[in-house]
Amino acid sequence: MTENKIPYKIYLEESEMPTAWYNVRADMPTKPAPLLNPATGEPCTAEELGHVFCDELVAQELDNDNRYIPIPQEIRDFYKMYRPSPLVRAYCLEEKLGTPAKIYYKFEGNNTSGSHKLNSAIAQAYYAKNQGLRGVTTETGAGQWGTALAMACGYLGLDCKVYMVKCSYEQKPFRREVMRTYGATVTPSPSMTTEVGRRILALDPQTTGSLGCAISEAVEDATTHEGYRYVLGSVLNQVLLHQSVIGVECKTAMDKYGVVPDIIIGCAGGGSNLGGLISPFMGEMLRGERSYQFIAVEPASCPSLTRGVFAYDYCDTGKVCPLAKMYTLGSGFIPSANHAGGLRYHGMSPVLSELYHEGLMEARSVEQTKVFEAAEYFARVEGILPAPESSHAIRVAIDEAIKCRETGEEKTILFGLTGTGYFDLYAYQKFNDGVMDDYVPTDEELQSSFATLPRV
Ligand SMILES: *Cc1c(COP(=O)(O)O)cnc(C)c1O
C-alpha cells in the first residue's frame, strides 16, 4: 500500500479487534521486581494481595509468563461500545509544521470518561463482579480514573466509592457530578472517614491532598468493609496489561497499512497508557525482531524517571500498600500547588521502571507552559482539545517533528493522545490568562524526599 493511500483515520473492523491482552513481562529477560510486604520485606503472596485486590487481578499481577491473556467476552462487548479508538494520521499537523516526518496519534478520548482509563476500569470491575463482590474503592486525582470506574461499575451494577484528591474535588465539581450520575460516592481526600485520613489531617489540617494519600484511604476503606476490594487506575502490572489493548489495536492498524513507527511517544504519570501503547512494539524489540525509539514524557515538576531514584518505595503516603521497586521521588513528594498539568504521581510502573533502567526506553521532562503551548497549537491545528497530560506527549512529538524538519529525516512518529481536556479548563484558564508558571523542584527538595525511602 502506498503512503498516500493512508486515510486520515485508520479504524479496525470489529473482527480485527484484539481478543487477548499482551503481557510484555513474558518477553522481558529481567522481570519487574516483585511487590514486597512492608512488614516482612518478603515478596507479597497471592493470598496477601487477595485481601486488597480481586483474585483474578492478583493472578494477572503476578503472571510474568503468559504472553497473551484472553479478554473475556463481556469485556470485549463493552469495548465495542467505544473501541476501536481511532489511529489518526496527523496530516494537518505535519503540514502546519512543514515537517517531512509522518505523525500518527492514537486517540483514547472518545468515551464519556474522556481517557484511556476506561480500558482497565471495565476489566477490574468485571473481575470484582465475577468474584461476587459488592463493590470497589479507589482514589482519583484529576478525576479521569474515578469517572471511568464509575462508568464501569454503573454498567455492571457494582458499588463504587471514590476518594478524590481534595484540590481536584474543589476545582472540578463537574467531574464529581459525572461520577455521581453513574452512581459512585465521592469523598474529598484526606477525609475524616478513615483512620489514615484523620492522621494526615491532624498533621496538616490545610493539606489539599495527594494521590498517595487518597490511595491510603481507599485501601483502608476496602480492607475494613466486607465484600469490597481496592482497585487502582495505573502503576500496577495488571493495569498495563489491560491498557495493552491500545498498543495491540495500534499495531494491527499499522501493520494493515505497512506503517512502521520509528519513534513512539507517550506521557507518563504512573505509566499505564505508555506501557499499554508500547507493549507490543517493545515485545518485538525484546525478542530481537525490530528496534524502536521509545520516549516517556513527564512533567518537570514531578520528574520521577528523569530525576528520581530506582528503589523500593511505598505506593502511598499512608504506607498501607505493598512496596514497589520503581523510579520514585519518595512517597511524601507532593508536586507544587501551581502544577496544573496532571501526572502528579510520585512513582512509576515497575515494568516501565525496569525497561527504562535497562536503557530500552528514554525519558524527558517538560515544563508546563511548554506543554500548554503545544496543547493550544494542537487544538487549533488538529481540532481536538487535548488533556494536559496528553499534551506532554504532543510537546515531544512536535519537538521531534521539528528536528526532522531541520535534518530532513522522514521519520514516522507515533504518540498516544490519551484524552480530552474538557474538565481541565481551570488549567487552560491559567494558561490563557498568562498566570501559569513553571516550578521545578530543587535538588535539596528531592534529596529530603529521598531520605524518607524505606530501607529494604
Ligand atoms: C491518568 C491519565 C494519564 C496518566 O496516567 P498513566 O497511567 O501514566 O497513563 C494520562 N492522560 C490522561 C488523559 C489520563 O487521564
From the CA of 108, give the closest atom in ligand 1: 13
Q: Read off the pLDDT band of 128 (50, 70, 90).
A: very high
Question: What values do phi and psi take at 287, rounded to 5?
Answer: -85, 0
More confident residue, 154 or 172: 154
Q: What is the 3-state secondary structure (H, E, C) of the chain?
A: CCHHHCCCEECCCHHHCCCEEECHHHHCCCCCCCCECCCCCCECCHHHHCCCCCHHHHHHHHCCCCCEEECCHHHHHHHHHHCCCCEEECHHHHHHHCCCCEEEEEECCCCCCCECCHHHHHHHHHHHHHCCCCEEEEEECCCHHHHHHHHHHHHHCCEEEEEEEHHHHHHCHHHHHHHHHCCCEEEEECCCCCHHHHHHHHHCCCCCCCHHHHHHHHHHHHHCCCCEEECCCCCCHHHHHHHHHHHHHHHHHHHHCCCCCCEEEEECCCCHHHHHHHHHHHHHHHCCCCCCEEEEEEECCCCHHHHCEEEEEECCCCCCCCEEEEEECCCCCCCCCCCCCCCCCCCCCHHHHHHHHCCCCEEEEECHHHHHHHHHHHHHHHCCCECHHHHHHHHHHHHHHHHHHHHCCCCEEEEEECEECCCCHHHHHHHHCCCCCCCCCCHHHHHHHHCCCCCC
Residues touching ligand 1 (Cβ under 6 Å) are 115, 117, 144-145, 234, 267-273, 343, 387, 389-390, 418-419
Q: Is the separation of the CB atoms in 396 and 364 below 8 Å?
A: yes
Residue whose C-alpha cell is 518477553: 27
State the Cα–Cα distance between residues 281 and 287, nearest whole angstrom. Answer: 10
pLDDT of residue 36 exceeding 70: yes
Q: Rg of the chain over CA atoms, in angstroms?
A: 20
Q: By mean pLDDT, which of 196-200, 330-334, 433-437, 450-454 is the weakest?
A: 330-334
Whole-number pLDDT of residue 175 = 93
C-alpha 269 – ligand 1 centre gap (Å): 6
Within this chain, domains 3-16+83-114+237-450 and 21-30+39-70+116-230 share the same CATH topology: yes
pLDDT of residue 166 exceeding 60: yes
pLDDT of residue 210 exceeding 90: no
Whole-number pLDDT of residue 340 = 79
The pLDDT tens digits of the residues spanning 213-255 come to: 899 999 999 999 999 999 999 999 999 999 999 999 999 999 9
From the CA of 117, give the closest atom in ligand 1: 15
Averaged pLDDT for residues 370-395: 98
Q: Read off the pLDDT band of 317 (50, 70, 90).
A: confident
Considering the domain 3-16+83-114+237-450 in this protein, what is its CATH number? 3.40.50.1100
Whole-number pLDDT of residue 319 = 83
From the CA of 420, give the closest atom in ligand 1: 13
Whole-number pLDDT of residue 376 = 98
The pLDDT tens digits of the residues spanning 141-159 come to: 889 999 999 999 999 999 9
Domain-by-domain residue ranges, the chain? 3-16+83-114+237-450, 21-30+39-70+116-230
Number of C-beta neighbours around residue 51 at 10 A: 12
pTM across the whole model? 0.97
Residue whose C-alpha cell is 536503557: 359
C-alpha 153 – ligand 1 centre gap (Å): 20
Q: By mean pLDDT, which of 209-223, 319-333, 334-348, 385-399 is the weakest?
A: 334-348
Whole-number pLDDT of residue 273 = 98
Q: Is the separation of the CB atoms in 302 and 322 below 8 Å?
A: no
Question: What values do phi and psi take at 398, rounded to 5?
Answer: -65, -45
pLDDT more than 70, % of the chain: 99
C-alpha 129 – ligand 1 centre gap (Å): 25
pLDDT more than 90, % of the chain: 89
Ligand 1 pocket mutation pick from 211, 418, 420, 422 by most atoms within 8 angstroms of CB: 418
Q: Which residues neighbour 13 within 8 Å (Cβ) at sequence distance 6 or greater?
A: none
Q: Read off the pLDDT band of 211 (50, 70, 90).
A: confident
State the Cα–Cα distance between residues 230 and 124, nearest whole angstrom. Answer: 10
Chain Cα centroid distance, residue 405:
30
Q: Read off the pLDDT band of 455 (50, 70, 90).
A: confident
Whole-number pLDDT of residue 1 = 44
User: What's the chain's average pLDDT?
Assistant: 95
User: Whose CA is closest to atom 7 on ligand 1?
Assistant: 272
Grid coordinates in use for 401?
Answer: 517533528
Averaged pLDDT for residues 306-322: 91
Ligand 1 pocket mutation pick from 138, 140, 144 by most atoms within 8 angstroms of CB: 144
Q: Read off the pLDDT band of 4 (50, 70, 90).
A: low
Averaged pLDDT for residues 368-387: 98
Cα angle, residue 264 at apex, residues 95 and 108 outer, rounded to 5°: 80
More confident residue, 336 or 414: 414
pLDDT of residue 372 exceeding 60: yes
pLDDT of residue 167 exceeding 60: yes
Averaged pLDDT for residues 106-130: 97
Ligand 1 pocket mutation pick from 115, 164, 385 by most atoms within 8 angstroms of CB: 115
The pLDDT tens digits of the residues spanning 335-368 come to: 887 887 788 889 999 999 999 999 999 999 999 9
Multiple choice CATH, 21-30+39-70+116-230, 3.40.50.10540, 3.40.630.30, 3.40.190.170, 3.40.50.1100: 3.40.50.1100
pLDDT of residue 3 exceeding 60: no
